[in-house]
Amino acid sequence: MAEIATQVEQEKEPFFGKKERKLLTDPLSDNNPITVQVLGICSALAVTTLVNKAFVMAIAVTFVTAMSNFAVSFLRKGMPKQIRMIVQLVVVAFLVTLVELALKAANYPIWKELSVYIGLIITNCIVMGRLEAYAMANKPWRSFVDGIGNGLGYGVILIIVAAFRELFGKGSLAGFQIIGNTPDYLIDTTKNSFFSWYMPNNMMVIPAAALFLIGSIIWIQRSKNQNLVDVS
Amino acid sequence: MHSNKYVTVYTVIMTLVVSVVLAVVVSGLKPIHDDNAAVYKKREILKAVKGYLGSDLDKMSDKEVLDLFDKNIKQVVIDANGKPVEGEKAEDLDMAQEEKKPLADRHYPVFTFESDKGTFYLVSIRGNGLWDKIWGTIALKDDFNTIAGASFGHVGETPGLGAEISDNPAFPKQFEGKTINEDGKYVSVAVVKGGIKKPAHQVDAITGATITSKGVTEMLDRGLRIYLPYFESLKK
């Protein structure tokens, strides 16, 4: 785990103060679960071909991290230490199953495409990582905020990568067709002479492209922020 | 450290609570899940004749899909010899389950779509891709020779390569107008690499997806052959 929470609990703190704000914004940049903690890479490679898919995945992961952080933090005092990990796993698996059932009822075609990866949220390192690193040592409300923050940090990277892959691999963005070789697209490369050279990049569709993109994001982020250079 | 008794009681209560809640949610949502699955399956079948529906399939609501299916589609289940089977509905047939039975016991669905543009016979086929199963619906015109449309699906072909059989609408579109017979003999339609020699019976393969393309060829040849005796009986 990249960080271990060592905050001292204080009396009478505001409901949503500086610390909560930091918990929410830190994972978006300086402590991003994907680019800095390097957790949850597996699903980031798999579900980033389309923005819509990445968006649903981001919501699902945010829900699971937030709710499992909250539940585990709530249960942390009565939880038998011998079976700590098993209890955490049950909580996570329970929430993930709920998410999957809800998605199957709400949007069947998206469920059909994502079902394997939704199930794999159980093994997403971000969820377990936050439970062990944060929820086991902090109060429920803060753990909940921490879960939201980390879920969003994951989601932001997922959507950035998906936007690149969908735009250059399929010529569309969130299902809106922008450039391609049929009249359905905004720029029809068969008619528009300025873009007649354009071909979709098939490499963007395979998972390797996501690896390069995430690598580039990590590179750019570290070159801008010297504090991160010594982290790993 | 907690005592063994505490741990045991904790585990039992936790397991009970979680399983009861999940059981309630699953049974509560089951009707919605079943409805969604039925609509999804019908959309997949109708995709093969989407040019003849009169409206855009993607823009049709779930209710419109079900209505169209009820009104314009006749369902027949045939056995391995091409004889119609009484008392079974084609939409309830699960090709994945049929595949586990011995060849002679398998049943196959035929959907007859009647529209003002003619009658179409939609048949289901199933085969192997590179990683897992692939399947398709082929719509034949009433000469039982010309393909009016096709749609394909797969479990886990490589995105951008094999998965293009369903992701890229240009691939199934190639099948429109192809014929499965030559001089009265069944020849099926083949997916070929590097130039089409017989335009009536061949379509272009997907670059980089050799095994998936071969799988589609094999699936078409074997899959359509099963329906030939039934088509013969309809011609009479």
Angle (CA) B54 B59 B62, round 5°: 100
- Kind plus residue range of the DSSP H or E element containing B137: strand B133-141
Residue B158's nearest CA partner among B200, B223, B213, B103 is B213
Residue of B nearest to A181 (CA): B170
Using a CB-CB cut-off of 8 Å, the residues of chain B touching A83 are 7, 10-11
Q: Is 60 exceeded by the pLDDT of residue A55?
A: yes
Residue B32 lies in a domain: no
Give me the residue label for tokens 């996501």. Answer: A210
Given this model, what pLDDT does residue B25 score? 94
Query: Does a structural domain hold residue B28?
Result: no
pLDDT computed for residue A231 by the predictor: 53
Looking at chain A, the whole-number percentage of residues with pLDDT higher than 70 is: 92
Looking at the domain assignment, is residue B4 inside a domain?
no
CB contact under 8 A, A205 and B160: yes
Do B222 and B189 meet the contact criterion of CB atoms below 8 Å apart?
no
Indicate the length of chain B as a whole number.
Answer: 236
User: Which stretch of DSSP H or E encloses residue B113?
Assistant: strand B107-115
Q: How far is CA B16 from CA A70, A71, B23, in A?
A: 20, 17, 10
Picking from A186, A59, A191, A172, the residue whose alpha carbon sits closest to that of residue B167 is A172
- Please tell me if residue A108 touches chain B, with a CB cutoff of 8 Å: yes
pLDDT at B30: 92
Mean pLDDT for chain A overall: 82
pLDDT tens, A172-202? 888 778 777 777 777 777 777 777 777 778 7
pLDDT exceeds cutoff 70 at A12:
no
pTM for this model (two decimals): 0.77
Least Cα separation, residue B36 to chain A (angstroms): 6
Element (H, E) at B232: helix B210-235
Is the pLDDT at A8 greater than 60? The verdict is no
B19 found inside a domain:
no
Q: In angstroms, rounded to a whole number, what is the distance separating the alpha carbons of residues B11 and A86? A: 9
- Concatenate the DSSP letters of all residues of A50-113 into one string: SHHHHHHHHHHHHHHHHHHHHHHHHHTTTS-GGGHHHHHHHHHHHHHHHHHHHHHHH-HHHHHH
Question: How many Å apart are CA A44 and CA A49, to the nearest integer?
Answer: 10
Nearest to B33 among A78, A104, A206 (CB): A104
**Nearest in space to A100 (alpha carbons), one of A129, A63, A147:** A63
Using the 8-state DSSP alphabet, how is residue A8 labeled? P
pLDDT at residue B113, rounded to an integer: 86
CB distance B77 to B88 below 8 Å: yes
Smallest Cα–Cα separation from B168: which of B133, B130, B207? B207
Tokens 């009822």 found at = A105
Q: What is the number of structural domains in chain B?
A: 1
Structural domain including B190 reads: 37-235
Of the pLDDT bands very low, low, confident and very high (cuts 50, 70, 90), residue A1 is very low
Cα A10 vs. chain centroid, distance in angstroms?
A: 31
Interchain proximity B40–A81, CB inside 8 Å: no
Q: With respect to residue B22, please indicate whether it lies within any of the assigned structural domains.
A: no
Residue pair B44/B151 in contact (Cβ under 8 Å)? The answer is: yes
ipTM above 0.85, yes or no: no
Q: What is the pLDDT of residue A144?
A: 92
Contact indicator for B174, B204 with CB cutoff of 8 Å:
yes
Domain-located, residue B24: no
Residue B13 in any domain: the answer is no
Residue B32's pLDDT is 92
List A residues 161-190 in contact with B (Cβ-Cβ < 8 A): 169, 182
The answer to the question of residue B178 being in a domain is yes
Per-residue pLDDT of chain B (236 residues; tens, 9 = 90+): 778 899 999 999 999 999 999 999 999 999 999 888 888 888 888 888 887 777 777 777 788 888 888 888 888 888 888 788 877 777 778 888 888 888 888 888 888 888 878 888 888 898 888 888 899 999 988 888 888 889 998 887 877 788 888 877 888 888 888 888 888 788 888 888 877 788 888 888 888 888 899 999 999 998 888 888 888 888 77
pLDDT band at residue A230, thresholds of 50, 70 and 90? low
Calculate the alpha carbon distances from B98 to A84, A109, B77, B92 in Å.
Answer: 45, 24, 12, 11
Distance CA A152, CA A65 (A): 10
A147-156, A210-219, B72-81: the lowest-pLDDT one: B72-81
Res A13: pLDDT: 63
Q: Say if the Cβ atoms of B25 and A105 lie within 8 Å.
A: no
Nearest to B18 among A94, A102, A205 (CB): A94
Q: Please give the structure tokens belonging to residue A204.
A: 């963007």
A93 falls in which pLDDT band (50, 70, 90)?
very high
Q: Locate tokens 């067709």: which residue? A: A177
